[in-house]
C-alpha cells in the first residue's frame, strides 16, 4: 500500500465552517464515487462550537421543532459536570455531545486535489439525526447514487438511505436498519434477484460488533440476515470489525475492504473475498492488514491510531483508497489489486 506523499489530501483547515460560531475539527470517512469523470468525496465534516473562553461549554444538537441546529450551555465550573472526555459533557442525568457531523461535497479531476463546497450537502434534519450524520457510503445503481449513512440520536444509531442523481439534490428515503447498526455497504448490483448489503449491528447482552449481510428487493426493506464474519482472536482484527468500502466485483469474488480494530482500538484496513453468487459465503480473508496507522497523521489526531475507509475506486487493477486518518483528516493510498489479493488466505 503506497501512501500519497502529500497526505493528508484534505484537512480541517481546508473546510469552511457551516456557521461563523463553529470550527471544523475533523474531515474524514468520506463516501467516494465517480461522477462526470470526476472523483467525488462526500466528506464527513465534524464541527463544534468555537470555545469563547467564557467559562461556558456548549453541546450541539438538531432541534426537530425549531428545524435548526441549537446549542445547550453548561457552566464549566459546575462540579456535577464531567469534561474529562472532550467528546462529551457528562451530567448526572445524561451525556451531551460536543460536536456534530454533516456531509460536504468535494470533487477532483485527478483524485488528489479537491475543490470543497462552501456549504453542507446534507446535515441533521430529523429526529433520527439530532446528533448528526456520519460515515456515508455511495453505491451507484442504475445511474442513481444511493448513500447509506449513520444517523445518531436519542433513539439510537440507525442506518438511513438517501439518493442523488447529481450530487446537488439529495432525497432522504428513510431508516433502513433499526438501532443499533452502522457500516452499511450496499452491493452495486443485484445478485440472484436481490440487492445485498453488509451491515454491522451492535448488540447489548449477547453478540459482538461483527459483520452481517442482508438482502433486499427494493433497497428500502432488508431481511434474511446472515452472520458473515467476526473478530478473530490473536489477529489484527481481534476487537471489532465492520465493512468499509462498497464491495468490488473481481474475477475471484466480491472484494470487500473492511476495517478491524484491536481490543486496544487500533483501527486497520483489511480485505475479505466473498462468493460472487452467494455473497454470504466468505472465501478468503486478510491475515495481515493492508493498511495500519503508521504515519504521524494516522497516529495522532482527534482519535489517534485510526485508518478508516468508506470508499475506494478500482481503476485498471489499481485500488485507490480514500480513508480518514485519526478521525481528523482525509488521506489517500493505493495498491494493486494483486497486492491486496496476496494478503488473503482461504477460510475453511
Q: Does 127 bind its own copies (CB under 8 A)?
A: yes
Query: Element (H or E) spanning 38, and its range?
Result: strand 38-49
Residue 260 C-beta: closest distance to its own copies, Å: 17
Closest CA to 150 of 110, 188, 184: 184
Among 59, 101, 123, 216, binds its own copies (CB under 8 A): 216
Q: Does 347 bind its own copies (CB under 8 A)?
A: no
Residue 53 C-beta: closest distance to its own copies, Å: 30
Using the minimum distance from each CB to its own copies, give the nearer residue, 212 or 323. 212
Query: d(Cα 27, Cα 41) in Å, to the nearest integer?
Result: 11
Q: By the 8 A CB rule, do 143 and 121 touch?
A: no
Q: Does 174 bind its own copies (CB under 8 A)?
A: yes
Q: Does 180 bind its own copies (CB under 8 A)?
A: yes
| Opening angle at CA 236, ends 230 and 241, nearest 5 | 35
* Dihedral (CA of 25, 28, 39, 291) sign: positive
Among 2, 19, 226, 288, binds its own copies (CB under 8 A): 226
Q: By the 8 A CB rule, do 312 and 299 touch?
A: no
Using the minimum distance from each CB to its own copies, give the nearer residue, 66 or 205. 205
Residue 240 C-beta: closest distance to its own copies, Å: 12
* Dihedral (CA of 35, 247, 182, 307) sign: negative
The single-letter DSSP state of residue 246 is P
Query: d(Cα 101, Cα 211) in Å, to the nearest integer?
Result: 24
Q: By the 8 A CB rule, do 43 and 106 touch?
A: yes
- Burial of 23 by CB count in 10 Å (0-12 exposed, 13-18 middle, 19+ buried)? middle
CA 212 to chain centre: 16
Among 7, 148, 199, 286, binds its own copies (CB under 8 A): 199
Q: Does 223 bind its own copies (CB under 8 A)?
A: yes
Q: Does 54 bind its own copies (CB under 8 A)?
A: no
Near its own copies by CB under 8 A, which window of 45-53, 195-203, 251-259, 338-346?
A: 195-203
Among 20, 79, 192, 205, binds its own copies (CB under 8 A): 205
Among 103, 114, 131, 267, binds its own copies (CB under 8 A): 131
Interface positions, 137-156, toward its own copies (CB under 8 A): 152-156
- Kindly state the number of chain residues that form the binding site for its own copies, as judged by CB under 8 A: 42
Query: Which residues in this chain contact its own copies in the complex, by CB under 8 A?
Result: 127-128, 131, 152-158, 174-181, 199, 201-207, 210, 212, 214-218, 220-227, 230
Amino acid at each position: 500500500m503506497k501512501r500519497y506523499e502529500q497526505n493528508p489530501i484534505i484537512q480541517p483547515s481546508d473546510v469552511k465552517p457551516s456557521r461563523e460560531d463553529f470550527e471544523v475539527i475533523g474531515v474524514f470517512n468520506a463516501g467516494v464515487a465517480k461522477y462526470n469523470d470526476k472523483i467525488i468525496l462526500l466528506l464527513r465534516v465534524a464541527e463544534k462550537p468555537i470555545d469563547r473562553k467564557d467559562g461556558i461549554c456548549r453541546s450541539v444538537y438538531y432541534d426537530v421543532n425549531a428545524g435548526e441546529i441549537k446549542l445547550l450551555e453548561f457552566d464549566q465550573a459546575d462540579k456535577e459536570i464531567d469534561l474529562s472526555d472532550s467528546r462529551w459533557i457528562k451530567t448526572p442525568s445524561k451525556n451531551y455531545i460536543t460536536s456534530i457531523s454533516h456531509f460536504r461535497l468535494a470533487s477532483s479531476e485527478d483524485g488528489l486535489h479537491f475543490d470543497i463546497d462552501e456549504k453542507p450537502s446534507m446535515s441533521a434534519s430529523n429526529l433520527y439525526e439530532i446528533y448528526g450524520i456520519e460515515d456515508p457510503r455511495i453505491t451507484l445503481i442504475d445511474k442513481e447514487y444511493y448513500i447509506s449513512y449513520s444517523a445518531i440520536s436519542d433513539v439510537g444509531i440507525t442506518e438511513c438511505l438517501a439518493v442523488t442523481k447529481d450530487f446537488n439534490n439529495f432525497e432522504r428515503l428513510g431508516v433502513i436498519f433499526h438501532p443499533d447498526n452502522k457500516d452499511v455497504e450496499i452491493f452495486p448490483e443485484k445478485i440472484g434477484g436481490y440487492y445485498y448489503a453488509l451491515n454491522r449491528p451492535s448488540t447489548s447482552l449477547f453478540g459482538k460488533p461483527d459483520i452481517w449481510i442482508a438482502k433486499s428487493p427494493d433497497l428500502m426493506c432488508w431481511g434474511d440476515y446472515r452472520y458473515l464474519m467476526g473478530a478473530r482472536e490473536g489477529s489484527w482484527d481481534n476487537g471489532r470489525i465492520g465493512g468499509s468500502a462498497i464491495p468490488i466485483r473481481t474475477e475471484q469474488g466480491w472484494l470487500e475492504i473492511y476495517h478491524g480494530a484491536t481490543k486496544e482500538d487500533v483501527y486497520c484496513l483489511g480485505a475479505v473475498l466473498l462468493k460472487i453468487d452467494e455473497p454470504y459465503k466468505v472465501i478468503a480473508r486478510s491475515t495481515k492488514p493492508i493498511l495500519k496507522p503508521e504515519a504521524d497523521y494516522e497516529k495522532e489526531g482527534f482519535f489517534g491510531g485510526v485508518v478508516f475507509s468508506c470508499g475506494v475506486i478500482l481503476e485498471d487493477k489499481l485500488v485507490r483508497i480514500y480513508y480518514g486518518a485519526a478521525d481528523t483528516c482525509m488521506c489517500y493510498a493505493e495498491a494493486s489489486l494483486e497486492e491486496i489479493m496476496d494478503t488473503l488466505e482461504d477460510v475453511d
